[in-house]
Structure 1
Amino acid sequence: MTRKLLDHRAEGPDTASPLLLGPSLGTSNALWDAVAPELSAGHRVIRWDLPGHGASPAGLIGPGATVGDLSGLVLDLADSLGVERFAYAGVSLGGAVGLHLAVHHPERVTSLAVICASAHFGGTSPWRERAERVRREGVGWLLESAPARWFAGDFTVPRLIRDHGEADPGAYAACCDALAAFDLRDRLADIAAPTLLVAGREDPATPPAHLREIADAVPDAALVEIPGASHLAPAQCPEAVLTALRAHLGGGARRGMEVRRQVLGDAHVDRAQARQTPFTARFQDFISRYAWGEIWTDPTLSRRERSMITLTALVAHGHYEELAMHVRAARRNGLTPEEIGAVLLQTAVYCGVPAANSAFATAQRVLAEED
């Protein structure tokens, strides 16, 4: 029998690096509506719903559930989608799931962002009491206080309040059980994934001190506080959250710059950086982050193979100045002059003799300069 999975919504290219987004208790994946579409430009964004929330089956968890149980459901979802390793960002209970995954399944988590969450959520009793009352009365009594718990000022998101009211009481109570039992403070130092903590400065549920506690314990973690944000920061201050996540996920830009230098050489990259202006800065960042940080670092193809493909593509489009640069790169990636010649000869068949003629002239000049 097929095992039931958490409901989810996927956005962005299937070939892009996966990013899982976890929700807060009482919300659905709509919590990420103002952030996920922007992130999906460079990632395969997968936002999931808690059991009994949104369209996720309520029966996936029951009384006495733990954050470990929820983490297992997230891994089941990732496995069903063919996602082995992923970046993760989560809010509140979704953030606790991220912490658990980073501690207990470090081989799966490439980076972690914990938003308006905690390594412990204020003790066992309040959550046990809430769980018991929800099992008796449902979730309706929570709706009146939800805007004050979730948002600062007069701001609200009716869709999220409606989702709160439609949550299954049994599954909601089981999530409360998970929060009651959660305390990961003694394991925070074990987290090895690059970690970002995002705090809402107006958050009464998980105040900035809770995020600071995590940041102080996790090696090399970064902390961002967002003015004017309460507990559901991605809904209330999406631009600030998006900026923080982009900078954090842009670790690919740093890795990309390393690969770019390895393939193209320090001299070329230094010249490109020296010519950078405010007008071209975002383009240079795009190249480092996407072309070099995601494509050239993908282990599916070797650098030798990528060089051969790149040479062919440049000949096909007549980009001979770029071709010269990548002939040098091909030599760094281990191609011999004979192999480069064989690639260009292949282009004569499929790209045309005139294009290959120009390519041979360019490559001969570059190889002669190297000799």
Structure 2
Amino acid sequence: MELRHRIDGPDDAPLLVLGPSLGTTTHLWDPQIPELARTWRVLRYDLPGHGASPAATEPFGVADVADAVLALAGPGRFAVGGVSFGGAVALSIAVNHPGRVSELVLCCTSARFGDPATWRQRAARVRAEGMGWLAGMVTARWFTHGAESAVAEPMQSSLLGTDAESYALACDALATYDLRDHLPRVTARTLVIAGDRDPATPIEHAELLGEGIPGARLAVVPEAAHLANVERPAVVAGLMSRFLGHGRGMKARREVLGEEYVDRALASGAASGLTADFQEFITRYAWGDIWIRPGLDRRTRSVITLTALVARGHLDELALHVRAALRVGLTPDEIAEVLLQTAVYCGVPAANAAFGVASRVLREMDAQSDDKE
């Protein structure tokens, strides 16, 4: 399956993949790109027969689209999200490939889109009559009655430009899609966004996602129907930006502190709700504004951090940053030199405690290395 796509944002930023709803294209996410692409490398794709993607020539399922998206994303972990059908694709990836997904954004989507017979009936009518009859019915579900024509008409045009057979095959795919029993398999931090006037995926669908996915956060957008990100673009951009944090900050944090530690910290914050905002704060400001500045390399920043932690007696944090120092290229001998320097300027008792922490960390890391061998 070939999916045409486009990429916005810095080449060195972490990857964020965003999928469209049925009947729309990559342009669905245009309102959020200026904010997200500042610190994320954003990949958007068109569904089969939508936008620039070739028409589908054979039946496909949501999982098939998910596999094609994984191929576009390449190796490694990434954040993924989508609206409606695109949200189903994102959820399918998170369920079946949990190790690949760092963050998950589900906007106006569901684990099951209603009665399968309804989707098969829609597919049959599209095959018989084409796309024209859909315009009024679908766009009435996409937007509230107060939506401006300048907002709704471009989306209607993209719907009418969709290949009819590809649209029908996508309806068939939604008829067989059901991940309700698999939601606990999602391990990624998850944000569920719902429109309070969405008739296609009502709030009950979002609540099911929020309750079924461990630690998921639910946000309801007021005065919005199914395409909430188009109808209330600033609200959705703000929700996503706060949840995803600073993209390059998250990348730096993972590279310095390690994937496992960051995953545990984020999961703990999401599960308890107590530290979630704090995790976003330190990702955005400490790692996104300070650690990525070009004025000092990471080795130098690590030396400064070790010294400051010894001076203030933050021994738990010191253990974390001894590991980080090794990860950014400091040797055990260089760490010892840093701690020896602190004995002069921070005091012998502080340095003594720091040497104890560093020695324990190095022993633990040596033991882990031996176990792997």
TM-score, structure 2 as length reference = 0.72
* 1:110–1:193 contact (8 Å) kept in structure 2: yes
* 2:2–2:48 contact (8 Å) kept in structure 1: no
Distance 1:207 1:308, change over 3 A: same
Alignment of 1:1-371 (within 5 A): 5-59=2-56, 62-63=58-59, 65-79=60-74, 83-155=75-147, 156-250=151-245, 286-291=284-289, 306-308=298-300, 332=322, 333=325, 335=330, 339=334, 368-370=344-346, 371=348
Distance 1:285 1:167, change over 3 A: same
* Deviation of 1:364 (Å): 10
Q: Which ranges of 4 or more aligned residues in structure 1 deviate by more than 6 Å?
A: 251-262, 282-285, 321-324, 326-329, 340-343
* Deviation of 1:212 (Å): 0.2
- For residues 341 and 213 of structure 1, the distance between their equivalents in structure 2, rounded to whole angstroms, comes to 52
* Deviation of 1:170 (Å): 1.1
- For residues 166 and 2 of structure 2, the distance between their equivalents in structure 1, rounded to whole angstroms, comes to 14
- Structure 1 gaps of 5+ residues are 263-281, 297-304, 312-320, 344-362
- For residues 134 and 244 of structure 1, the distance between their equivalents in structure 2, rounded to whole angstroms, comes to 35
Residue identity opposite 1:56 in structure 2: S
* 1:260–1:292 contact (8 Å) kept in structure 2: no
Distance 1:340 1:187, change over 3 A: closer
Superimposed CA distance per residue, residues 250-307 of structure 1 (whole angstroms, 9 cap, x where no aligned partner): 3977998899999xxxxxxxxxxxxxxxxxxx997742251578x59xxxxxxxx821
What's the % identity of the aligned pairs?
Answer: 42
* Deviation of 1:7 (Å): 1.0
Distance 1:70 1:322, change over 3 A: closer
- Structure 2 gaps of 5+ residues are 259-279, 312-317, 349-373
Residue identity opposite 1:288 in structure 2: A
Residue identity opposite 1:39 in structure 2: L
- For residues 259 and 43 of structure 1, the distance between their equivalents in structure 2, rounded to whole angstroms, comes to 16
Residue identity opposite 1:160 in structure 2: M
Distance 1:256 1:292, change over 3 A: farther
- 1:157 partner SS: helix
* 2:221–2:235 contact (8 Å) kept in structure 1: yes
Superimposed CA distance per residue, residues 317-362 of structure 1 (whole angstroms, 9 cap, x where no aligned partner): xxxx999759989x9436579748999xxxxxxxxxxxxxxxxxxx
* Deviation of 1:159 (Å): 1.6
Aligned Cα root-mean-square deviation (Å): 3.7
Distance 1:327 1:56, change over 3 A: farther
- For residues 250 and 41 of structure 2, the distance between their equivalents in structure 1, rounded to whole angstroms, comes to 20
- For residues 51 and 118 of structure 2, the distance between their equivalents in structure 1, rounded to whole angstroms, comes to 25
- For residues 217 and 112 of structure 2, the distance between their equivalents in structure 1, rounded to whole angstroms, comes to 19
Of 192-201 and 156-165, the range deviating more from structure 2: 156-165
- 2:18 partner SS: strand
* 1:5–1:76 contact (8 Å) kept in structure 2: no
TM-score, structure 1 as length reference = 0.72
Q: How many residue pairs are counted as aligned between the two chains?
A: 307
**Residue in structure 1 matched with residue 264 of structure 2 by the alignment:** none
Of 165-174 and 136-145, the range deviating more from structure 2: 136-145
Of 222-231 and 133-142, the range deviating more from structure 2: 133-142
Distance 1:21 1:324, change over 3 A: same
- 1:14 partner SS: coil
* 1:259–1:292 contact (8 Å) kept in structure 2: no
- For residues 147 and 128 of structure 1, the distance between their equivalents in structure 2, rounded to whole angstroms, comes to 19
* Deviation of 1:133 (Å): 1.2
* 2:246–2:283 contact (8 Å) kept in structure 1: no
- 1:110 partner SS: strand
* 1:62–1:170 contact (8 Å) kept in structure 2: no
* 1:115–1:198 contact (8 Å) kept in structure 2: yes
- 1:57 partner SS: coil
- 2:7 partner SS: strand
